[in-house]
Amino acid sequence: MSGVQAYRRRAAETERSVDAAVAAVKAERAAEFEKSKREHAAREAARRIYTREDIVGAGFVHDGHSWRKVVRVNKETVSVETGYSWVDRIPFAKVRGVQQPIEGTTGEHR
């Protein structure tokens, strides 16, 4: 066997080895992703879905990112302050938590 043939054989073996390693990493990542999707689905299925009755009278709702002050409760959404002249609407299905107003406060800015 010539030197060129030996080199090509070793290069082909190296390529097969790298391809196998890449395939193994891809399979591991795919399995981790599927496990993560199943865990997320289980958490979502177990999560409480708030209704209008749960939110009426609440001072704040958590939207998954931060606590937001309730302006009004609509039929299917809750309107929350934005710090600007408009309000954001959060669907009840997106509400992650409800907090009642603190006793002794009116909730008005002074």
Confidence of residue 107 (pLDDT cuts 50, 70, 90): low
Higher pLDDT, 45 or 35: 35
- Reported as half-sphere exposure (CB side, CA atoms, 13 A), residue 53 has a value of 0
Query: How large is the C-alpha radius of gyration of the chain?
Result: 28
Question: Rounded to two decimals, what is the model's pTM?
Answer: 0.59
Alpha helices in the chain (DSSP H): 3-46, 52-55
pLDDT tens, residue by residue, 3-38 = 889 999 999 999 999 999 999 999 999 999 999 999
What is the amino acid identity at position 28? E
Confidence of residue 110 (pLDDT cuts 50, 70, 90): very low
Residue 25 neighbours by CB distance under 10 Å: 10
Residue 50 CA to its chain's centroid (Å): 18
pLDDT tens, residue by residue, 55-79 = 898 899 998 889 999 999 999 999 9
Handedness of CA 7, 13, 16, 18 (dihedral sign): negative
